[in-house]
A and B are shown apart, each in its own frame.
Chain A
Amino acid sequence: MSGEARPERVALITGASRGLGRVLAGFLARQGYGLVLTARGTSDLEAVAEEVRNEGASVAAIGGDVRDASHRQRLLEAAIAWGRLDLLVNNASELGDSPLPSLEKASRETFLRVLDANLLAPIALIQAATPLLARSGGLVVNITSDAAVGGYPGWGVYGASKAALDLASKTLAAELRDRGVAVVSVDPGDMRTKMHQDAYPGQDISDRPLPEVTLPFWAWLLAQPRMAVTGGRFQAQAAVWEVPT
């Protein structure tokens, strides 16, 4: 960690080694955010950290699995060292088996693994981070999917985990409002990422946009008063983003 200067704002991003997490990390770093980044792939993660560090950003890159309580504690300690946490992005997700099985064929083991990664781990990280988020008036972003509402064949395991995460987001938003912590769900839409490719093995997904397509949305969301958006579910590739009235 290059912890000499205390950044004015701090963001923690899971799944930061590639795809959406990686793009978001660079976008925030160049706006002066200090970053706590994590992912399971350590070498990819270190490459991301190196890139933003070279541009002058403060970065703590800590490889590991968010399902592991001691790893969550290490992430939090990095933010505590900077004294604040303004943004927590639960982006790391587990797709399940590739190719995607129908619910009829899905195994209990896969279901438990996906729910653990996509539902229980983000909630546990929020639980651990809430005191620091409350001190900073922070925002929690849980990355969801249109599979959470779609009923698409093959997407039942992943979709169920994201539907549950959506409900957890909404509930947490109501529970944490009085402590000044905001919680939103964001559906980034289809993107040309490794996860999307894993969902469609062997298929050409080059017509999907790169994750950079979501940057205008992040610029908008992070500009909104936290309590104006809390409890909301947003589509990053929608034509209109509105503040609930």
Chain B
Amino acid sequence: MRTETLTFERPADRVAHEPPEVRGRSRDDVRLLVTIGGEHRHARFGDLARFLRPGDLLVVNESAAIPASLPAASRLGDILVNLCTRFQDDLYVAEPRWSAGKQGPLPVKPGDDLRIGAAKVRLVAPYPGIPRLWFVHADRPFGSLVEALGRPIHYGYTDEWPMGVYETLFSRAPGSAEMPSASRPITPNVRDAIAEAGVRILPILLHTGVSRLEIESPTVESQAMYPEPFAVSPETALAVNRTHAAGGRVIAVGTTVVRALESAWTPAGVRPVRGFTRLYVNPDRGVHAIDGLLTGFHDPVTSHMALMAAFLGIDGVRSAYAEAVRGGYLWHEFGDSHLVLRGPPAAG
């Protein structure tokens, strides 16, 4: 697929700049666009359970965001180093940036040294195929730097908020560079309504990296991906397979869950697995392990758009996003939600 296929028009003001709770509203006080079989319905996130059926399975990511943005001193002046993926205590893939609002690539080269607090950090090698990202090695554990100096990663369209804003009801294991944001609007009330609807919620783990991966190659499929640590437990793998066998729907809460389940997928079903994945879910590869996706609204020409096109078809994404633009839905991690389901809707 040609990369420009993933472009779409969106007015510049359709971005959520702050989480609803800073204005005293509930986290679930956001809108929900429901796309089923090419048709769209407008709802509130609090009504999520109405669109689920007994025997459906929701799969969430239990990874928690860490304050992964570190201030660094370099020969270019003061910069940011946003940690992306942990390989070892002293070796990460990271994104050196000019600032929160201004991304790289920076004019740096292998062997260049940075200072982060008292630590000496060396740029080891650029990440192959993604020039913004570098392998970085520190003379002490990055964890100690995160603890002392780390701030939550944020970008130009929103302020930095307290760490609690980036936690979800399912956050268990710290390690993500950015929060898995699709489950952010799930409040205890919404979770209880889901349970009352006869729908189970089970976790996978995927420590997500820096989110804004623009596709820079001429075709969608040839874009390089960076790896992310992930695990699908035997219990979750079994529940996914049993849900499918019983005719229920497996609904991924977030693109991170899609990546984890698809990485664990075989034609015989989903299997337990623990490792690193850089599986690229795109229209060529398709989507096999899920029947539904609860997510946010994604930027044009990104790997997330490629995933949406893999699940919905590019015409389906265009139709849904045109509806979201017409309806005034808000983009990004504090914005509105989008539920995409295969098959007919539940009553209600």
User: Interface of A with B (CB < 8 Å)?
Assistant: 26-27, 30-32, 55, 209-210, 212-213, 215-216, 219-220, 222-223, 239-243, 245
Pick the contact of B122: A30, A210, A215, A219 (CB < 8 A): A30
Chain B residue with minimal CB distance to A57? B111
A58 to B325 alpha-carbon distance, docked (Å): 58
A55 to B112 alpha-carbon distance, docked (Å): 9
Q: A30-B125, A32-B137 are in contact. Are A241 and B276 (CB under 8 A)?
A: yes
A32 to B91 alpha-carbon distance, docked (Å): 11
Q: List 13 A-B contacts (CB under 8 A).
A: A30-B124, A209-B128, A212-B126, A216-B278, A219-B91, A222-B88, A223-B87, A239-B278, A240-B278, A241-B277, A242-B274, A242-B275, A245-B272
Distance of B255 from chain A, by nearest CB (Å) = 16
Whether a CB of chain A sits under 8 angstroms from the CB of B150 is no
Pick the contact of A241: B93, B125, B126, B227 (CB < 8 A): B227
3 A-B pairs with the lowest CB-CB distances in the bound complex, closest first: A242-B275, A55-B111, A239-B279
CB <8 Å contact, A220 and B276: yes
CB <8 Å contact, A240 and B273: yes
Total inter-chain residue pairs, C-beta < 8 Å: 75
Pick the contact of B137: A30, A213, A241 (CB < 8 A): A30
CB <8 Å contact, B128 and A26: no
Q: A26-B125, A242-B274 are in contact. Are A215 and B91 (CB under 8 A)?
A: no
Whether a CB of chain A sits under 8 angstroms from the CB of B226 is yes
A216 to B224 alpha-carbon distance, docked (Å): 11
Whether a CB of chain A sits under 8 angstroms from the CB of B135 is yes
A242 to B260 alpha-carbon distance, docked (Å): 12
Please name all residues of chain B whose beta carbon is closer than 8 Å to the beta carbon of A243 when the two chains form the complex. Answer: 274-275
Distance of A224 from chain B, by nearest CB (Å) = 9
Please name all residues of chain B whose beta carbon is closer than 8 Å to the beta carbon of A241 when the two chains form the complex. Answer: 227, 275-277
Pick the contact of A31: B124, B127, B129, B278 (CB < 8 A): B124
Whether a CB of chain A sits under 8 angstroms from the CB of B110 is yes
Distance of B89 from chain A, by nearest CB (Å) = 9
Can you add 4 more A-B contacts, CB < 8 Å, to A30-B124, A223-B88, A240-B277?
A240-B275, A240-B276, A243-B275, A245-B274
Interface of chain B residues 119 through 177 with chain A (CB within 8 A): 122-129, 135, 137
Pick the contact of A215: B123, B125, B225, B263 (CB < 8 A): B125
CB <8 Å contact, B278 and A213: no
A55 to B276 alpha-carbon distance, docked (Å): 30
Whether a CB of chain A sits under 8 angstroms from the CB of B321 is no
CB <8 Å contact, B278 and A223: no
Please name all residues of chain A whose beta carbon is closer than 8 Å to the beta carbon of B137 when the two chains form the complex. Answer: 30-32
Chain A residue with minimal CB distance to B111? A55
Whether a CB of chain A sits under 8 angstroms from the CB of B280 is yes
Distance of B21 from chain A, by nearest CB (Å) = 37
Pick the contact of A30: B93, B110, B273 (CB < 8 A): B110
CB <8 Å contact, B276 and A26: no
Distance of B284 from chain A, by nearest CB (Å) = 13
Distance of A227 from chain B, by nearest CB (Å) = 15
Please name all residues of chain B whose beta carbon is closer than 8 Å to the beta carbon of A216 when the two chains form the complex. Answer: 93, 127-128, 226-227, 278
A240 to B275 alpha-carbon distance, docked (Å): 7
Distance of B181 from chain A, by nearest CB (Å) = 24
Please name all residues of chain B whose beta carbon is closer than 8 Å to the beta carbon of A245 when the two chains form the complex. Answer: 272-274
Please name all residues of chain A whose beta carbon is closer than 8 Å to the beta carbon of B111 when the two chains form the complex. Answer: 30, 55
CB <8 Å contact, A240 and B128: no
A215 to B227 alpha-carbon distance, docked (Å): 11
A27 to B91 alpha-carbon distance, docked (Å): 11
Looking at B123, B227, B280, the one whose CB has the most chain A CB atoms below 10 A away is B227
CB <8 Å contact, B279 and A240: yes
Distance of A92 from chain B, by nearest CB (Å) = 22
A243 to B232 alpha-carbon distance, docked (Å): 12
Please name all residues of chain A whose beta carbon is closer than 8 Å to the beta carbon of B125 when the two chains form the complex. Answer: 26-27, 30, 212, 215
A223 to B227 alpha-carbon distance, docked (Å): 13
Distance of B92 from chain A, by nearest CB (Å) = 9
Interface of chain B residues 215 through 238 with chain A (CB within 8 A): 225-227
A240 to B123 alpha-carbon distance, docked (Å): 25
Please name all residues of chain A whose beta carbon is closer than 8 Å to the beta carbon of B128 when the two chains form the complex. Answer: 209-210, 212-213, 215-216
Please name all residues of chain B whose beta carbon is closer than 8 Å to the beta carbon of A31 when the two chains form the complex. Answer: 90-91, 122, 124, 137
Distance of A138 from chain B, by nearest CB (Å) = 16
A241 to B280 alpha-carbon distance, docked (Å): 14
